Amino acid sequence: MAANGVRFVELRSSVLYLATLQKCSPTQALERLIESTRDAAERQNIRRGLILTVTRGDYGATALTALLQAYQDLGEPDDVVGLDLAGDEEMSYPAQLPSLFREAKDRFGLGITIHAGETGRAENVRSAIELFGTDRIGHGTAASKVPELMDLLAKEDVCVEVCPISNRLTGAVSSEEAHPLQEFRRHGVPFVICSDNPGIHQRGLVDDHSAAMAEGLSVGDLRHQFQVAKRYSFIEGLA
């Protein structure tokens, strides 16, 4: 990130998965994550916030409860700025999960971002907005084919996290079609260019910016992206 000129970043992490790998409690895993990323961020002069990820599935509500308990056990640290729902969009989740996300948002002031509309289920974008009260949408590519959803995103001022490289690699946007970021812009939907799984893809934010330019964004658009990113970030106090 430092090599890519990143000055602030939000890192998604599955703390429950880390706890399983490290054979420790969720509280211990979250504490280690906070300490290690804080140390690295300070050394690289990068502001960072952590987003805690819950995976779709029958145990989503239980997982969220465990994460929030770990967060409270550590005194509700400012390092944690948001909650995320990810995983296979074809999987169901407990009926109470959306209300638990909204309650956490209201009680703790955490931002909400939902992976939705990446695998073709455009209605997941509507659910993220209307049921979960999301502030941002991860990917959201399928929404570009549904005008009323684009209008809803613009009306509710929900920012889409666009990952050009990942969208092509995963097939969320096929090689035969244009990337929907131009549709987002035409409909007044706010979006920010992000890097998805850079450790896996071995490509950083600069590469995603280059990919976004190949998809039609101008140099001026990319300069504006820094302001958009600050506006929709969950990290407080970004000047």
Residue 16: phi and psi, rounded to 5, are -65, -35
User: Rg of the chain over CA atoms, in angstroms?
Assistant: 17
Distances from the Cα of 48 to the Cα of 6, 26, 34, angstroms: 10, 20, 10
Distances from the Cα of 107 to the Cα of 76, 101, 111, 206, angstroms: 11, 10, 11, 36
Q: Which residues contact 105 (CB under 8 A, 6 or more apart)?
A: 83, 111, 112, 133
Q: Which residues contact 100 (CB under 8 A, 6 or more apart)?
A: 61, 64, 65
As a whole number of angstroms, the distance between CA 99 and CA 77 comes to 22
Task: Indicate the pairing of strand 80-86 with strand 111-116.
Answer: parallel
Q: What pLDDT does 239 receive?
A: 65
Task: Indicate the pairing of strand 136-139 with strand 159-162.
Answer: parallel
Q: What pLDDT does 183 receive?
A: 93
Q: What pLDDT does 128 receive?
A: 98
Query: Would you name the residues annotated as active-site residues?
Result: 118
Please state the CATH superfamily assignment of the domain spanning residues 50-232 in this structure: Metal-dependent hydrolases (3.20.20.140)
User: pLDDT (tens digit, 0 to 9) for every residue of the chain, 239 residues total?
Assistant: 999 999 999 999 999 999 999 999 999 999 999 999 999 999 999 999 999 999 999 999 999 999 999 999 999 999 999 999 999 999 999 999 999 999 999 999 999 999 999 987 899 999 999 999 999 999 999 999 999 999 999 999 999 999 999 999 998 999 899 999 999 999 999 999 999 988 888 899 999 999 999 999 999 999 998 999 999 999 999 86
Q: What pLDDT does 45 receive?
A: 97
Has this prediction a pTM greater than 0.85? yes
44 close to 1: Cβ distance less than 8 angstroms: yes
Residue given tokens 């092509």 in the structure block = 168
Strand locations in 121-187, DSSP E? Answer: 136-139, 159-162
